[in-house]
Amino acid sequence: MPDYRDDLRLAHVLADAADAATMERFKALDLKVETKPDMTPVSEADKAAEELIRGHLQRARPRDAILGEEYGIEGTGPRRWVVDPIDGTKNYVRGVPVWATLISLTEAGEGGYQPVVGVVSAPALGRRWWAAKGHGAFSGRSLSSASRLHVSRVSKLSDASFAYSSLSGWEDQGRLDGFLDLTRAVWRTRGYGDFWPYMMVAEGSIDICAEPELSLWDMAANAIVVTEAGGSFTGLDGRPGPHSGNAAASNGVLHDELLGYLNQRY
């Protein structure tokens, strides 16, 4: 099995740089925010963080391709870094601390590029999570000061905690009835949103989560952290990995039931 520890160390360096840039502008009164063609917001901090990460990668890994939310794809080859400079921009621009930089290394393989390294850094929460293929998932302040993550062992949906982002996306896709049935079947629901539910699945504090519409950069880092923590990460179609345009994550035991509810009457 390839050793991805050098790439993981680099991803931490990238996250450190991004954290410094994004925290400097967090809650800034003069923060500039624009609306993209898809009507989602983008701040000057999103752009600056991605430019910073791209610059580091072009120096450290010049042969690798880069795919980012703000500036698209650059380069070709079997290795591709996938970057979301600020996952949770709407929170960021309103001063809510639930946002993170997502950095993943993906490699060409069966079924497309698959994540092999992931770092999720949420500096306003003081939290960071990471994983490398075959080496497990961890959380902590640094590579040398970390705790290994493992998903929960909850085996009954009636005992499970379910996290989601919003209702509107489920309704737009015609999946709202199944979603609501799921919320009635579980023990507890909370709308944490964005990257955070996936990290909580990985660390075992919740058991299932799902989102109806996502891009690759929203999912790649989350996917490797969840799976290396012993969980399952698929699309709503059940296809493993971050390539279905939506996501379902669980402790593995509850995954089939999660998908069953979200696909019923669909």
| Binding site members | 69, 84, 86-87, 218
Q: What is the DSSP string of 22-33?
A: HHHHTT-TT--E
Rounded CA-CA distance 172/218 in Å is: 19
Q: Are the CB atoms for 226 and 198 separated by under 8 Å?
A: yes
144 Rama class: left (phi>0) / alpha (psi -120 to 50) / beta: alpha
Instruction: Centre a 10 Å sphere on the Cβ of residue 249 and count the other Cβ atoms it contains.
Output: 32
**b/e map 234-243, b = 16+ CB within 10 Å:** bbbeeeebbb
CB atoms within 10 A of CB 266: 10
Beta bridge partners of 137: 131
Pairing of strands 208-211, 161-163: parallel
Binding-site positions for Mg(2+) read: 69, 84, 86-87, 218
The identity of residue 43, as a single letter, is S
All residues at 6 or more sequence positions from 182 whose CB lies less than 8 Å from its CB, including other chains: 162, 258, 261, 262
CA distance 16 to 37: 30
The Cβ-side half-sphere exposure at 223, using a 13 Å CA radius, reads 29
Tell me which DSSP letter residue 106 carries. E
